[in-house]
Amino acid sequence: MKLLFLTQNGQHGPSSRYRVYQLVPHLEKLGITCVVSPAIDDELYHSIYLSSDGRGGCRRTAFLETWRRRQADVARIQEFDAVFVQKGVFPGLYAGFERRLAARRPLVFDFDDTIWLPREGGHPLLRTLHREGTVHEILRCATAVIAGNEFLAEYAQRFNPNVTVVPSSIDVARYRRSDDSVVIGWIGSRTTLPYLKPLAVVFKALSVKPRVIASGDPSTLGFEVEFRPWRLETELDELARIGIGIAPLPDTPWERGKCGVKLLQYMACGVPVVASPVGVQQQIIRDRENGLLARDEEEWRRHLTALMGDAGLRARLGAAARKTVERHYDVRAAAGNVANVLAASTQTNGITGRLNRRSA
């Protein structure tokens, strides 16, 4: 079986990296030939999201490049048994590419965000032009839909009966346990930096500077942090140096659709975590068993104080956290589940049974 994977970005884009690229080696072991076509390559992604220069021009370039590449992909779709579309070509703006692809080959649509809503932190013009109905069209024309969590799946099932939940996963073997420390750390992006602002009073009360691994300008936070510019090449080393991972989230529809990858990264390092009980985070974290949930400033202050002062608590929660990821969120299990959806969608002779046996 030969599959064409259409990703929004190259490997530097987190959604594309976790939903497609890391799965490819495992899918190929299951007999699936994978060809990945990113709309935005890593060089252009860096210019738009990891650099402070020329973002307006780069975004126009990205639109034109995406259109050109997807036209070429439609022209060659007959070479493949099916197409896997990660989060859509222009979700919320235009569903024409998905309709054209689905008319020629089985289309599996994968998404891990509330793409029917205007993107938080997105360009004002794109937010104005966003139309939920185009997402409905994509979901309807898909042979199968893969959703990153139950919240997203419930929405997709309104428009397509063939929906499978495959949680975002990580390659646990690549993450090493952190040395025991009390460094409070957070990993994110330019657009998610504002999630830290409500904790400013907590950091001040504890007299700590959190370590922030991200793109963007940390001065916009309004308080001091230990800033580490995000780089794919250094991400794992930076994560290994934190002692307590935090995942604050506001309780809004956009955030309820998130799939908790940063939480999984902390936990795979054996790092104790404190997280807001929003969306999938309250499913991943069993409060006081494999992490701590904080509902308000007082709980954030109390939980962080307890972890900073108790090495035994850090060790117990960190060990339980890693076991959770190993058992439920490892990339190998995710690849097997995706392979089964692909096989069922293409109905390729002899493939479905073999994939089911190998991924069981």
Q: What is the pTM of this model?
A: 0.92
Question: Using alpha carbons only, what angle is made at residue 147 by residues 234 and 23, rounded to the nearest 5 degrees?
Answer: 45
Closest among 285, 208, 290, 207 to 248, alpha carbons compared = 285
Q: 338: which 2 tokens? A: 């995706």
Strand pairing category for 107-111 and 33-40: unpaired
| Alpha-carbon gap, residue 82 to 278, rounded angstroms | 35
| Alpha-carbon gap, residue 163 to 76, rounded angstroms | 27
Per-residue pLDDT of the chain (360 residues; tens, 9 = 90+): 999 999 999 999 999 999 999 999 999 999 999 999 999 988 888 877 776 544 545 778 888 999 999 999 999 999 999 999 999 999 999 999 999 999 999 999 999 999 999 976 667 877 888 999 999 999 999 999 999 999 999 999 999 999 999 999 999 999 998 778 999 999 999 889 999 999 999 999 999 999 999 998 999 999 999 999 999 999 999 999 999 999 999 999 999 999 999 999 999 999 999 999 999 999 999 999 999 999 999 999 999 999 999 999 999 999 999 999 999 999 999 999 999 999 999 984 333 333 433 433
Domains of the chain, first to last: 2-169+331-359 (3.40.50.2000), 172-328 (3.40.50.2000)
| Alpha-carbon gap, residue 260 to 284, rounded angstroms | 8
| Tokens 């060990």, located at residue | 319
| Alpha-carbon gap, residue 19 to 169, rounded angstroms | 8
Q: Give Cα 338 to chain centroid, integer Å.
A: 16
